[in-house]
Amino acid sequence: MTIEKVDFYYFSGTGNTLLVVEKMEETFKKNGVDVELHKIEDSDPLKINLEQTIGIAFPVVILSTYHFVSDFIHSLPPTNGTKIFMVDTLGGVSGGIVGPLREIVKKKGYNPIGAKEIQMPLNIFYVEDEKTNQKKVQKGLNEAHKYALTILNGESEWGRVPVLSDAINLISRGALKLADADFHQKLFIFDPEPEKCRKCGICVELCPVGNIQMADDEYPKHGLNCEYCLRCVSLCPRHAMPARFNYKGKTYRAVKAKEIMH
């Protein structure tokens, strides 16, 4: 399979997906493939170059992925054979994204050439110790390297388990709607701790859906459209944004805030 250039569209919450994308980018480039990275939250799906191979990368959330990531994929323009591959990162299981996503892009005329799910450290509910997380990161990056090679060698696959994946996707959509509900948003809202927050505004810049606002000389304030990517919680340099649902308030980040924002 001949691939000359990859336009790689990605979203990374606390850095796992970014590390995987950068490892794949490194492998592609070492094998003579030009790669350009694009943040999904800053990209217009209607302006993608259909003459290039497209990569999509994102974290798994509630067995599927975030609304704005799904919206990006659903809004991709129709084509006639553009190669496309996907990779997701997850701390547990998915089941509701690989198959349904394959059907979406196939109906739009894309050629789905590969799909890979890569286990990385969990950043929600229970965060493991640093040594365990580092081992998972290294294993995940090794898998990312091998996956990139299978794409270049024409050995990658993008399969689908029709009934099961569709059923899990339906469950996921219901759970995501629950997370969208105002009562859920109010219950788990991320309010900064005044004694720690320095009003630097990093969380405002990090939020991929513009859910955090801050007026002059005020603390950051969350709206009710949070998608729980945990950027604000995990990447705050002062750890000023606690997450009620994380065990003992422990957080995880694979990279620093500046690496996400660059």
For 49-102, what is each residue's pLDDT tens digit? 999 999 999 999 988 899 999 999 999 999 999 999 999 999 987 878 999 999
Mean pLDDT over each residue of the chain, to the nearest integer: 93
Helix (H, G, I), strand (E, B) or coil at 90: strand
User: What is the topology classification, in CATH, of domain 189-261?
Assistant: Alpha-Beta Plaits (3.30.70)
Q: What is the pLDDT of residue 168?
A: 82
Please tell me the distance from the alpha carbon of residue 67 to that of residue 73, in angstroms, as a whole number.
Answer: 10
- Tell me, what amino acid is at 182? D
pLDDT at residue 175 greater than cutoff 90: no
User: What is the topology classification, in CATH, of domain 5-169?
Assistant: Rossmann fold (3.40.50)
Environment class of residue 39 by beta-carbon count within 10 Å: exposed (0-12), middle (13-18) or buried (19+)? middle
CATH 3.40.50.360 maps onto the chain at 5-169
What's the alpha-carbon Rg for the chain, to the nearest Å?
Answer: 18
238-249 pLDDT, tens digit per residue, is: 999 988 888 888
CATH 3.30.70.20 maps onto the chain at 189-261
pLDDT at residue 158 greater than cutoff 80: yes
Structure tokens that stand for 116 in this block: 């890979």
Please tell me the distance from the alpha carbon of residue 127 to that of residue 56, in angstroms, as a whole number.
Answer: 26
101-143 pLDDT, tens digit per residue, is: 999 999 999 999 999 999 999 998 999 999 999 999 999 999 9
Torsion of CA 101, 92, 255, 47, to 10 degrees: 10
